[in-house]
C-alpha cells in the first residue's frame, strides 16, 4: 500500500477502500515497510555456489511464491518427483522431446522463395514450445490447437507466454515494482491449469458427478478428440501412489513441479543453440550431431560437456538475490540475518581461480569432477539432473543435424538482447520481444537450412 499510494495516508485510505463493495483491501500490505537491510555482494564461483546450494540459510522466496499461487495447498513434492523422474519415464520423455522437436521443425519451417532453403524461427517455434507440447501431451493433458487438432482449446504460443509469467514470478523477478502484477497473473494462470488437471484426475478416478469432470468433458466435446492417452497414463500413476489424497492437492503439486521451470529450460536450450550457431563453432555443431546419432550414454555425456560450457558462458539467469535467514559467513565475509545477499552468476562463471587457464575461452574437456558453470537456479523441475541431461542432448542432436544449418541473414539471425547493470549491481542480459517490451525471455532467432529428402 505504501508503494502504490505514496501520497495518501495509508490508514485513512484503508478504511475508505474497505468500505467499498467487493473490496480488494485484503490484497494490500498495510504495514509500514521495514528499513532495507544491508546488501552484501559476494564474489567468486565458490561463494555464489554456496548461496545457491544452501536454501535454508539463503532464502530465495521460491517456496513462498509457489505456496501463494497454489493457494496454500499441501504439496507432495517428493511423490511427484519420484513418478515424474523415474528411469522408465525419463526414457519416455526423452523420446517425446526428440519426436516433438522433429515434428515442430517440419511444421514450422517456411520455404525460401527462389531457392531450396528453408527458414525456421528455432527459438520461438521450436525451443520455446518443446516443454509446452511435452506438458500438454505427456503430463497434464492440454488440448493444443494445431493442424492435426484444429479444434484445440489452447494456442501453443499463448500457453508458453502464460507459463513464462509463472516462471518470471516464481524464479526470475527480483524487483518489488513487478511483484504485484506478476503475482496476480500467475495466480490466475495457476487456478486455470490446476483446475484443468484436477478435472482430468477426477475423470480418471471415476468421480462421474464431479463438476470439474463435467467441465472437462464439455471442453473435450468442443475440442474434438483430446488425445490425452499419454497424459492419462502418467496421471494414473500419480493417482496410484496418492489415491487417498484429493485430486486438487495432486494437481497443485504437479503444476508446482513442472510449470515454473518450463521457460527457464527453454531459455537454457536457446542459449546453447545460439552459442554453437556462431560460424567459428561449426566443428562443435558437427560433433554434437554425430554424437547424438550414436545414441549411447557416453555420447550423451559428451554432448552435455558442450551444453554445460555454453551455459557457463551464457547462463539463463544473470544473477541472484537471496535473504540470509541466520548469521553466517562466506569465507571471511560476515553476513547477518536479514541481509540481502547478491551474487552475479555471469561473473561467478568467469572466476579465473576455477575455470583455468582462460575462463572466457570455452573448454570442452572438463571431466565429471570439474566445476560446471552455474545456471542460477537449483536443479528442480525440468532442470532436474537426469531429465535435463537426457532431453537436452536429443534436442541439440535434432537441431544440429539439419543440413547447412546457419543463422539467417541480418538481425533476425541474432538474439535480440542487450547488457545492462541490474538495480542490484550485477551485469544482466535483457531481451526485447516483438512488441518492443523488455523481458527475461528470448523470443526469436531465425535459422536457415537445406532440407533433405
pLDDT in tens, 89-133: 999 999 999 999 999 999 999 998 888 899 999 999 999 999 999
Q: Strand ranges (DSSP E) for 95-193?
A: 110-111, 118-121
Are 69 and 169 spatial neighbours (Cβ–Cβ below 8 Å)? yes
- Domain holding 10, by residue range, is 1-33
Q: Is residue 323 part of a domain?
A: no
Backbone CA torsion sign across 104, 108, 160, 343: positive
The residue-averaged pLDDT of 367-395 equals: 89
Number of helical (H) and strand (E) elements in the chain, helices listed first: 16, 13
What is the model's pLDDT at position 136? Answer: 96
Task: Report the distance separating Cα 116 and Cα 449, nearest Å.
Answer: 9
Q: Three-state SS for 218?
A: helix
Same domain, 17 and 117: no
pLDDT tens readout for residues 47-89? 999 999 999 999 999 999 999 999 999 888 888 999 999 999 9
Q: Is residue 254 part of a domain?
A: yes
Give the model's confidence band at 397: pLDDT under 50 very low, under 70 low, under 90 confident, else very high.
very high
Grid cell for residue 88: 522408465
Same domain, 122 and 212: yes
In eight-state DSSP terms, residue 421 is E
- Return the minimum-mean-pLDDT range out of 5-19, 179-193, 243-257: 5-19
Same domain, 76 and 17: no
Task: Report the distance separating Cα 114 and Cα 233, nearest Å.
Answer: 47
Are 314 and 445 spatial neighbours (Cβ–Cβ below 8 Å)? no
Give the model's confidence band at 224: pLDDT under 50 very low, under 70 low, under 90 confident, else very high.
very low
Same domain, 219 and 265: yes
Domain count for the chain, please give it: 2
Same domain, 25 and 149: no
pLDDT tens readout for residues 136-173? 999 999 999 887 788 889 999 999 999 999 999 999 98
In this structure, how many other beta carbons lie within 10 angstroms of the beta carbon of residue 28?
Answer: 16
Q: Is residue 351 part of a domain?
A: no
Same domain, 140 and 25: no
Same domain, 138 and 18: no
Grid cell for residue 182: 506478476
Same domain, 7 and 145: no
Q: Give the orientation angle of helix 385-400 with respect to helix 297-313, to 10 degrees.
A: 90
Inform me whether the pLDDT recorded for 369 exceeds 70. Answer: no
- With residues binned 3-state (H G I as helix, E B as strand, rest as coil), the percentages for the chain, rounded to 5, are 50, 10, 35
| Cα 139 → chain centroid | 16
Contacts 24+ apart (CB under 8 A), 283-287: 284/364, 285/400, 285/405, 286/400
Cis peptide before 87 (omega within 30 of 0): no
| Cα 87 → chain centroid | 22
Are 131 and 266 spatial neighbours (Cβ–Cβ below 8 Å)? yes
Same domain, 100 and 196: yes
Q: Is residue 340 part of a domain?
A: no
Domain CATH number, residue 213: 1.10.630.10
Q: Give the orientation angle of helix 77-84 with respect to helix 247-258, to 10 degrees.
A: 70
- Residues paired with 259 in a beta bridge: none
Q: Three-state SS for 343?
A: strand
Q: Three-state SS for 448?
A: strand
Give the model's confidence band at 207: pLDDT under 50 very low, under 70 low, under 90 confident, else very high.
low
Same domain, 1 and 96: no
Q: Is residue 43 part of a domain?
A: no
What is the model's pLDDT at position 223? Answer: 37
Q: Is residue 411 part of a domain?
A: yes
The CA angle 32-35-40, to the nearest 5 degrees, is: 145
Q: Is residue 138 part of a domain?
A: yes
Task: Report the distance separating Cα 430 and Cα 160, nearest Å.
Answer: 18
Inform me whether the pLDDT recorded for 240 exceeds 80. Answer: yes
Give phi and psi for 349, each to the nearest 5: -75, -5
DSSP H helices, 33-86, are 45-53, 62-69, 77-84
Q: Is residue 61 part of a domain?
A: no
Same domain, 123 and 23: no
Same domain, 124 and 248: yes
Are 396 and 98 spatial neighbours (Cβ–Cβ below 8 Å)? no
Task: Report the distance separating Cα 341 and Cα 58, nearest Å.
Answer: 8
Amino acid at each position: 500500500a505504501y508503494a502504490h499510494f505514496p501520497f495518501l495516508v495509508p490508514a485513512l485510505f484503508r478504511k475508505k477502500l474497505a468500505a467499498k463493495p467487493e473490496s480488494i483491501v485484503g490484497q494490500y500490505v498495510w504495514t509500514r515497510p521495514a528499513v532495507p537491510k544491508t546488501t552484501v555482494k559476494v564474489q567468486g564461483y565458490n561463494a555464489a555456489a554456496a548461496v545457491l546450494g544452501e536454501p535454508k540459510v539463503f532464502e530465495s522466496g521460491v517456496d513462498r511464491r509457489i505456496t501463494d499461487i497454489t493457494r496454500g495447498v499441501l504439496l507432495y513434492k517428493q511423490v511427484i518427483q519420484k513418478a515424474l523422474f523415474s528411469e522408465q519415464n525419463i526414457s519416455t520423455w526423452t523420446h517425446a522431446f526428440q519426436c516433438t522437436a522433429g515434428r515442430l521443425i517440419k511444421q514450422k519451417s517456411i520455404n525460401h522463395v527462389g531457392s531450396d532453403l528453408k527458414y525456421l524461427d528455432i527459438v520461438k517455434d521450436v525451443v520455446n514450445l518443446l516443454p509446452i507440447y511435452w506438458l500438454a501431451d505427456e503430463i497434464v493433458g492440454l488440448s493444443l490447437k494445431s493442424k492435426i487438432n484444429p479444434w484445440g482449446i489452447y494456442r501453443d504460443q499463448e500457453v508458453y507466454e502464460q507459463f513464462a509469467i509463472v516462471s518470471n514470478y516464481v524464479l526470475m523477478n527480483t524487483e518489488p515494482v513487478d511483484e504485484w502484477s506478476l503475482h496476480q497473473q500467475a495466480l490466475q494462470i495457476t487456478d486455470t491449469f490446476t483446475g484443468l488437471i484436477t478435472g482430468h484426475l477426477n475423470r480418471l478416478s471415476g468421480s462421474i458427478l464431479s463438476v470439474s469432470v463435467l467441465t472437462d468433458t464439455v471442453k473435450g466435446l468442443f475440442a474434438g478428440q483430446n488425445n490425452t492417452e499419454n497424459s492419462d497414463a502418467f496421471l494414473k500413476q500419480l493417482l496410484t501412489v496418492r489415491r487417498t489424497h484429493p485430486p486438487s492437492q495432486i494437481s497443485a503439486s504437479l503444476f508446482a513441479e513442472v510449470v515454473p521451470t518450463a521457460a527457464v529450460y527453454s531459455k537454457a536450450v536457446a542459449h546453447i543453440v545460439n552459442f554453437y550457431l556462431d560460424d567459428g563453432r561449426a566443428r562443435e555443431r558437427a560433433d554434437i550431431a554425430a554424437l547424438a546419432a550414436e545414441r549411447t550414454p557416453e555420447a550423451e555425456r559428451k554432448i552435455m560437456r558442450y551444453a554445460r560450457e555454453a551455459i557457463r558462458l551464457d547462463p539463463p539467469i544473470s544473477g541472484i538475490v537471496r535473504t540470509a535467514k541466520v548469521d553466517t559467513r562466506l569465507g571471511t565475509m560476515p553476513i547477518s540475518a536479514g541481509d540481502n545477499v547478491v551474487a552475479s552468476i555471469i561473473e561467478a562463471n568467469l572466476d579465473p581461480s576455477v575455470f583455468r587457464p582462460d575462463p572466457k575461452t570455452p573448454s570442452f574437456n572438463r571431466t565429471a569432477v570439474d566445476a560446471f558453470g552455474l545456471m542460477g537456479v537449483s536443479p528442480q523441475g525440468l532442470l532436474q539432473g537426469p531429465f535435463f541431461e537426457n532431453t537436452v542432448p536429443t534436442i541439440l542432436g535434432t537441431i544440429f543435424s539439419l543440413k547447412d544449418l546457419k543463422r539467417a541473414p541480418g538481425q533476425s539471425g541474432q538474439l535480440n538482447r542487450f547488457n545492462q547493470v541490474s538495480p542490484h549491481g550485477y551485469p544482466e542480459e535483457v531481451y526485447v520481444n516483438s512488441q518492443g517490451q523488455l523481458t527475461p525471455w528470448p523470443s526469436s532467432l531465425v535459422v536457415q537450412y537445406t532440407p533433405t529428402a
